Amino acid sequence: MKHLQGKVAAITGGASGLGRAMAQACLQAGMRVAIADIEAAPLQHTLNELREHSNDVIAIQTDVAQATQVAQFAHAVRAHFGRVHLVCNNAGVSPLGPVWENTLADWQWILGVNVWGVIHGVRAFTPMLLEQNEGHIVNTASVAGLINPPGMGAYNVSKHAVVSLTETLFHDLAARQSKVGCSVLCPAYVPTGIANSARNRPADLQPTPAEHSAETKAREAMLQKAVRSGKLSADDIAQHVLKAVRDNRFWILTHPKIKGAIAARLEDVMQEQAPRNPLAL
Ligand SMILES: NC(=O)c1ccc[n+]([C@@H]2O[C@H](COP(=O)([O-])OP(=O)(O)OC[C@H]3O[C@@H](n4cnc5c(N)ncnc54)[C@H](O)[C@@H]3O)[C@@H](O)[C@H]2O)c1
Protein backbone atom coordinates (compact mmCIF):
# COMPACT_ATOMS: atom_id res chain seq x y z
CA MET A 1 0.00 0.00 0.00
CA LYS A 2 2.08 2.86 -1.35
CA HIS A 3 -0.05 5.79 -0.27
CA LEU A 4 -0.94 6.07 3.39
CA GLN A 5 -2.30 9.63 3.53
CA GLY A 6 -5.95 9.60 4.63
CA LYS A 7 -6.01 5.81 5.10
CA VAL A 8 -7.20 4.11 8.32
CA ALA A 9 -5.01 2.03 10.65
CA ALA A 10 -6.27 -0.32 13.38
CA ILE A 11 -3.60 -1.26 15.92
CA THR A 12 -3.88 -3.66 18.86
CA GLY A 13 -1.64 -3.27 21.88
CA GLY A 14 -1.77 0.40 20.93
CA ALA A 15 -1.52 1.84 24.44
CA SER A 16 2.22 1.30 24.83
CA GLY A 17 5.50 0.21 23.29
CA LEU A 18 5.54 -0.80 19.63
CA GLY A 19 1.78 -0.33 19.17
CA ARG A 20 1.84 3.23 20.46
CA ALA A 21 4.85 4.02 18.25
CA MET A 22 3.04 2.55 15.22
CA ALA A 23 0.03 4.74 16.02
CA GLN A 24 2.25 7.84 16.21
CA ALA A 25 4.01 6.96 12.95
CA CYS A 26 0.67 6.36 11.19
CA LEU A 27 -0.62 9.75 12.32
CA GLN A 28 2.61 11.40 11.12
CA ALA A 29 2.03 9.71 7.75
CA GLY A 30 -1.40 11.41 7.59
CA MET A 31 -3.43 8.33 8.50
CA ARG A 32 -6.47 8.05 10.74
CA VAL A 33 -5.91 5.68 13.63
CA ALA A 34 -7.82 3.34 15.95
CA ILE A 35 -5.99 1.80 18.87
CA ALA A 36 -7.14 -1.13 20.99
CA ASP A 37 -5.70 -2.30 24.28
CA ILE A 38 -6.72 -4.20 27.38
CA GLU A 39 -5.27 -1.60 29.77
CA ALA A 40 -7.80 1.21 30.26
CA ALA A 41 -5.69 3.98 31.86
CA PRO A 42 -2.66 3.76 29.50
CA LEU A 43 -5.10 3.51 26.57
CA GLN A 44 -6.77 6.77 27.60
CA HIS A 45 -3.37 8.36 28.25
CA THR A 46 -2.08 7.40 24.79
CA LEU A 47 -5.34 8.57 23.19
CA ASN A 48 -4.90 11.99 24.84
CA GLU A 49 -1.27 12.14 23.71
CA LEU A 50 -2.17 11.21 20.10
CA ARG A 51 -5.03 13.73 20.05
CA GLU A 52 -2.50 16.49 20.61
CA HIS A 53 -1.41 15.76 17.02
CA SER A 54 -4.70 14.82 15.37
CA ASN A 55 -8.40 14.41 16.09
CA ASP A 56 -8.56 11.43 13.76
CA VAL A 57 -7.89 8.92 16.54
CA ILE A 58 -10.16 6.64 18.51
CA ALA A 59 -9.40 4.11 21.26
CA ILE A 60 -11.44 1.05 22.13
CA GLN A 61 -10.71 -1.06 25.17
CA THR A 62 -10.33 -4.61 23.86
CA ASP A 63 -9.06 -7.94 25.13
CA VAL A 64 -7.63 -9.49 21.96
CA ALA A 65 -7.93 -12.98 23.45
CA GLN A 66 -11.73 -12.62 23.17
CA ALA A 67 -13.10 -13.13 19.65
CA THR A 68 -16.22 -11.06 20.27
CA GLN A 69 -14.21 -8.08 21.54
CA VAL A 70 -11.91 -8.11 18.50
CA ALA A 71 -14.95 -8.36 16.19
CA GLN A 72 -16.49 -5.39 18.05
CA PHE A 73 -13.24 -3.45 17.62
CA ALA A 74 -13.24 -4.13 13.86
CA HIS A 75 -16.87 -3.05 13.50
CA ALA A 76 -16.32 0.06 15.63
CA VAL A 77 -13.36 1.12 13.47
CA ARG A 78 -15.36 0.68 10.28
CA ALA A 79 -18.43 2.38 11.78
CA HIS A 80 -16.33 5.38 12.81
CA PHE A 81 -14.01 5.80 9.83
CA GLY A 82 -16.01 4.05 7.07
CA ARG A 83 -13.09 1.83 6.02
CA VAL A 84 -9.99 0.08 7.39
CA HIS A 85 -6.73 -0.22 5.42
CA LEU A 86 -3.86 -1.15 7.72
CA VAL A 87 -4.33 -3.72 10.48
CA CYS A 88 -1.54 -4.25 13.03
CA ASN A 89 -2.19 -7.33 15.16
CA ASN A 90 0.44 -6.41 17.69
CA ALA A 91 -0.68 -7.01 21.32
CA GLY A 92 1.53 -9.54 23.09
CA VAL A 93 2.76 -10.86 26.45
CA SER A 94 5.75 -12.94 27.54
CA PRO A 95 5.78 -15.37 30.47
CA LEU A 96 9.14 -17.20 30.77
CA GLY A 97 10.41 -20.51 32.15
CA PRO A 98 11.51 -23.97 31.01
CA VAL A 99 8.67 -25.58 29.06
CA TRP A 100 7.88 -28.17 31.75
CA GLU A 101 7.55 -25.38 34.33
CA ASN A 102 5.06 -23.27 32.38
CA THR A 103 1.68 -23.77 34.00
CA LEU A 104 -1.56 -24.35 32.16
CA ALA A 105 -2.42 -20.76 33.08
CA ASP A 106 0.85 -19.56 31.45
CA TRP A 107 0.01 -21.42 28.24
CA GLN A 108 -3.60 -20.29 28.19
CA TRP A 109 -2.64 -16.66 28.80
CA ILE A 110 0.14 -16.45 26.22
CA LEU A 111 -1.60 -18.45 23.51
CA GLY A 112 -4.80 -16.47 24.16
CA VAL A 113 -3.11 -13.11 23.58
CA ASN A 114 -0.24 -13.87 21.18
CA VAL A 115 -1.87 -16.49 18.96
CA TRP A 116 -5.65 -16.25 19.36
CA GLY A 117 -5.33 -12.44 19.41
CA VAL A 118 -3.75 -12.54 15.94
CA ILE A 119 -6.20 -15.18 14.70
CA HIS A 120 -9.16 -13.07 15.88
CA GLY A 121 -7.65 -9.98 14.23
CA VAL A 122 -7.11 -11.78 10.93
CA ARG A 123 -10.61 -13.27 10.98
CA ALA A 124 -12.31 -9.99 11.88
CA PHE A 125 -10.47 -7.65 9.50
CA THR A 126 -9.38 -9.67 6.44
CA PRO A 127 -12.90 -9.96 4.95
CA MET A 128 -13.21 -6.14 5.17
CA LEU A 129 -9.92 -5.66 3.32
CA LEU A 130 -10.81 -8.35 0.74
CA GLU A 131 -14.15 -6.68 0.08
CA GLN A 132 -12.44 -3.41 -0.84
CA ASN A 133 -9.47 -5.28 -2.43
CA GLU A 134 -7.09 -2.91 -0.71
CA GLY A 135 -5.14 -2.93 2.54
CA HIS A 136 -2.31 -4.51 4.47
CA ILE A 137 -2.06 -6.68 7.58
CA VAL A 138 1.02 -6.59 9.82
CA ASN A 139 1.24 -9.31 12.45
CA THR A 140 3.77 -8.79 15.21
CA ALA A 141 5.80 -11.95 15.81
CA SER A 142 9.41 -11.70 17.05
CA VAL A 143 12.82 -13.12 16.22
CA ALA A 144 11.51 -15.78 18.61
CA GLY A 145 9.25 -16.78 15.73
CA LEU A 146 12.32 -17.74 13.68
CA ILE A 147 14.69 -19.15 16.30
CA ASN A 148 14.13 -20.86 19.65
CA PRO A 149 16.05 -19.30 22.56
CA PRO A 150 15.97 -21.43 25.74
CA GLY A 151 13.82 -20.57 28.76
CA MET A 152 10.99 -19.01 26.76
CA GLY A 153 9.29 -21.98 25.09
CA ALA A 154 5.73 -20.69 25.42
CA TYR A 155 6.72 -17.38 23.83
CA ASN A 156 8.67 -19.16 21.05
CA VAL A 157 5.69 -21.42 20.30
CA SER A 158 3.33 -18.44 20.15
CA LYS A 159 5.59 -16.42 17.84
CA HIS A 160 6.37 -19.36 15.51
CA ALA A 161 2.58 -19.72 15.22
CA VAL A 162 2.28 -16.06 14.20
CA VAL A 163 4.98 -16.48 11.54
CA SER A 164 3.29 -19.63 10.24
CA LEU A 165 -0.15 -18.02 10.19
CA THR A 166 1.10 -14.92 8.38
CA GLU A 167 3.14 -16.84 5.82
CA THR A 168 0.06 -18.93 5.05
CA LEU A 169 -2.09 -15.79 4.91
CA PHE A 170 0.34 -14.46 2.28
CA HIS A 171 -0.21 -17.59 0.14
CA ASP A 172 -3.98 -17.52 0.66
CA LEU A 173 -4.20 -13.87 -0.42
CA ALA A 174 -2.01 -14.61 -3.45
CA ALA A 175 -4.24 -17.56 -4.39
CA ARG A 176 -7.18 -15.12 -4.42
CA GLN A 177 -5.12 -12.72 -6.55
CA SER A 178 -6.00 -10.13 -3.93
CA LYS A 179 -4.29 -6.74 -3.73
CA VAL A 180 -4.36 -7.05 0.07
CA GLY A 181 -0.80 -7.45 1.39
CA CYS A 182 0.62 -8.81 4.62
CA SER A 183 3.85 -8.70 6.59
CA VAL A 184 5.27 -10.33 9.68
CA LEU A 185 7.26 -8.18 12.11
CA CYS A 186 10.17 -10.02 13.76
CA PRO A 187 12.13 -7.66 16.03
CA ALA A 188 14.76 -8.53 18.63
CA TYR A 189 14.87 -6.64 21.96
CA VAL A 190 13.31 -3.17 21.97
CA PRO A 191 12.83 -1.08 25.14
CA THR A 192 9.06 -1.32 25.84
CA GLY A 193 6.85 -2.69 28.61
CA ILE A 194 7.07 -6.31 27.32
CA ALA A 195 9.19 -7.55 30.27
CA ASN A 196 6.42 -6.34 32.61
CA SER A 197 3.58 -7.93 30.68
CA ALA A 198 2.29 -9.74 33.81
CA ARG A 199 0.58 -6.41 34.59
CA ASN A 200 -2.11 -7.45 32.12
CA ARG A 201 -2.51 -11.03 33.25
CA PRO A 202 -6.18 -11.86 33.86
CA ALA A 203 -7.21 -12.71 37.44
CA ASP A 204 -8.29 -16.24 36.50
CA LEU A 205 -4.89 -17.03 34.86
CA GLN A 206 -2.59 -15.84 37.67
CA PRO A 207 0.45 -17.97 38.65
CA THR A 208 1.41 -18.64 42.27
CA PRO A 209 4.89 -17.31 43.18
CA ALA A 210 6.03 -20.83 44.14
CA GLU A 211 5.65 -21.89 40.51
CA HIS A 212 8.63 -19.77 39.49
CA SER A 213 12.02 -21.48 39.97
CA ALA A 214 15.24 -19.58 40.65
CA GLU A 215 16.19 -20.28 37.01
CA THR A 216 13.01 -18.59 35.78
CA LYS A 217 13.52 -15.62 38.09
CA ALA A 218 17.08 -15.25 36.71
CA ARG A 219 15.68 -15.33 33.17
CA GLU A 220 13.12 -12.69 34.05
CA ALA A 221 15.91 -10.43 35.32
CA MET A 222 17.89 -11.11 32.11
CA LEU A 223 14.87 -10.25 29.98
CA GLN A 224 14.35 -6.96 31.83
CA LYS A 225 17.98 -6.06 31.18
CA ALA A 226 17.99 -7.20 27.53
CA VAL A 227 14.79 -5.29 26.74
CA ARG A 228 16.13 -2.15 28.48
CA SER A 229 19.36 -2.32 26.47
CA GLY A 230 17.70 -2.79 23.05
CA LYS A 231 19.54 -0.56 20.57
CA LEU A 232 16.57 0.32 18.34
CA SER A 233 13.65 2.29 19.77
CA ALA A 234 9.96 1.55 19.34
CA ASP A 235 9.85 4.54 16.96
CA ASP A 236 12.59 2.95 14.81
CA ILE A 237 10.56 -0.26 14.60
CA ALA A 238 7.43 1.70 13.63
CA GLN A 239 9.33 3.33 10.76
CA HIS A 240 10.47 -0.15 9.58
CA VAL A 241 6.82 -1.24 9.63
CA LEU A 242 5.53 1.67 7.55
CA LYS A 243 8.35 1.26 5.03
CA ALA A 244 7.51 -2.44 4.64
CA VAL A 245 3.82 -1.60 4.16
CA ARG A 246 4.64 0.99 1.49
CA ASP A 247 7.05 -1.45 -0.22
CA ASN A 248 4.62 -4.38 0.19
CA ARG A 249 7.43 -6.42 1.80
CA PHE A 250 6.55 -9.57 3.76
CA TRP A 251 9.49 -10.00 6.15
CA ILE A 252 10.24 -7.17 8.59
CA LEU A 253 13.54 -8.17 10.19
CA THR A 254 14.55 -5.06 12.07
CA HIS A 255 17.72 -6.47 13.69
CA PRO A 256 19.93 -7.87 10.87
CA LYS A 257 22.56 -9.27 13.26
CA ILE A 258 20.11 -12.01 14.25
CA LYS A 259 20.18 -13.42 10.72
CA GLY A 260 23.27 -15.47 11.66
CA ALA A 261 21.23 -17.35 14.28
CA ILE A 262 18.36 -17.85 11.82
CA ALA A 263 20.77 -19.22 9.21
CA ALA A 264 22.33 -21.53 11.83
CA ARG A 265 18.88 -22.92 12.72
CA LEU A 266 18.00 -23.54 9.06
CA GLU A 267 21.37 -25.20 8.53
CA ASP A 268 20.80 -27.45 11.57
CA VAL A 269 17.44 -28.47 10.08
CA MET A 270 18.91 -29.15 6.64
CA GLN A 271 21.87 -31.07 8.08
CA GLU A 272 19.57 -32.91 10.53
CA GLN A 273 21.87 -31.99 13.39
CA ALA A 274 21.08 -31.06 17.00
CA PRO A 275 19.84 -27.46 17.34
CA ARG A 276 22.50 -24.97 18.42
CA ASN A 277 21.56 -22.54 21.19
CA PRO A 278 20.92 -19.25 19.32
CA LEU A 279 22.01 -17.22 22.35
CA ALA A 280 25.40 -18.95 22.40
CA LEU A 281 26.29 -18.26 18.74
N1 LIG B 1 9.85 -5.25 23.01
C2 LIG B 1 10.49 -6.29 22.50
O3 LIG B 1 11.67 -6.53 22.80
C4 LIG B 1 9.78 -7.17 21.51
C5 LIG B 1 10.56 -7.99 20.68
C6 LIG B 1 9.91 -8.83 19.77
C7 LIG B 1 8.53 -8.83 19.68
N8 LIG B 1 7.80 -8.02 20.51
C9 LIG B 1 6.35 -8.07 20.40
O10 LIG B 1 5.86 -6.75 20.18
C11 LIG B 1 4.49 -6.70 20.55
C12 LIG B 1 4.25 -5.44 21.34
O13 LIG B 1 4.88 -5.54 22.60
P14 LIG B 1 5.74 -4.35 23.22
O15 LIG B 1 7.15 -4.75 23.19
O16 LIG B 1 5.34 -3.08 22.65
O17 LIG B 1 5.28 -4.47 24.77
P18 LIG B 1 4.31 -3.53 25.62
O19 LIG B 1 4.01 -4.31 26.86
O20 LIG B 1 4.91 -2.19 25.76
O21 LIG B 1 3.02 -3.42 24.70
C22 LIG B 1 2.13 -4.51 24.55
C23 LIG B 1 0.73 -3.95 24.63
O24 LIG B 1 -0.20 -5.04 24.50
C25 LIG B 1 -1.25 -4.84 25.44
N26 LIG B 1 -1.93 -6.09 25.74
C27 LIG B 1 -1.49 -7.10 26.53
N28 LIG B 1 -2.44 -8.05 26.62
C29 LIG B 1 -3.48 -7.64 25.86
C30 LIG B 1 -4.75 -8.19 25.55
N31 LIG B 1 -5.15 -9.37 26.06
N32 LIG B 1 -5.56 -7.49 24.73
C33 LIG B 1 -5.19 -6.29 24.23
N34 LIG B 1 -4.01 -5.70 24.51
C35 LIG B 1 -3.16 -6.38 25.31
C36 LIG B 1 -0.55 -4.22 26.63
O37 LIG B 1 -1.46 -3.56 27.52
C38 LIG B 1 0.44 -3.29 25.99
O39 LIG B 1 -0.09 -1.99 25.80
C40 LIG B 1 4.21 -7.98 21.31
O41 LIG B 1 3.51 -8.89 20.46
C42 LIG B 1 5.59 -8.52 21.62
O43 LIG B 1 5.60 -9.91 21.79
C44 LIG B 1 8.39 -7.20 21.42
DSSP 26-88: HHHTT-EEEEEES-HHHHHHHHHHHHTT-S-EEEEE--TTSHHHHHHHHHHHHHHHS---EEE
Q: Is 189 a catalytic residue?
A: no
List of domains in the chain: 8-280 (3.40.50.720)
**Residue-wise pLDDT tens digits, 101-140:** 999 999 999 999 999 999 999 999 999 999 999 999 999 9
pLDDT category at 226 given cuts 50, 70, 90 is: confident
Residue nearest to atom 6 of ligand 1 (CA): 142
Q: Could you give the CA distance from residue 178 to residue 23 in angstroms, rounded to a whole number?
A: 26
Distance 90 CA to ligand 1 centre (A): 6
Distance 148 CA to ligand 1 centre (A): 19
Which DSSP state fits 97?
B
Burial annotation 177-216 (CB, 10 A radius, 16+ → b, else e): ebebbbbbbbbbbbbbbbbebeebbeeebebeeeebeeeb
Ligand 1 touching residue 140 (CB < 6 A): yes
pLDDT category at 36 given cuts 50, 70, 90 is: very high
**pLDDT of residue 210 exceeding 90:** no
Distance 177 CA to ligand 1 centre (A): 32
Cα angle, residue 10 at apex, residues 6 and 12 outer, rounded to 5°: 155
Backbone torsion region of residue 192, taken as left when φ is above 0, otherwise alpha when ψ lies between -120 and 50, otherwise beta = beta
Q: What does the pLDDT average to over 62-70?
A: 98
Residue at 175: amino acid letter: A
Ligand 1 pocket test, candidate residues 11, 37, 165, most atoms within 8 A of CB = 37
Q: Which pTM was predicted? A: 0.97
Helix (H, G, I), strand (E, B), or coil: what is residue 233?
Answer: coil
**pLDDT of residue 209 exceeding 80:** no
Which is the closest atom of ligand 1 to the Cα of 227? 3
Residue nearest to atom 38 of ligand 1 (CA): 13
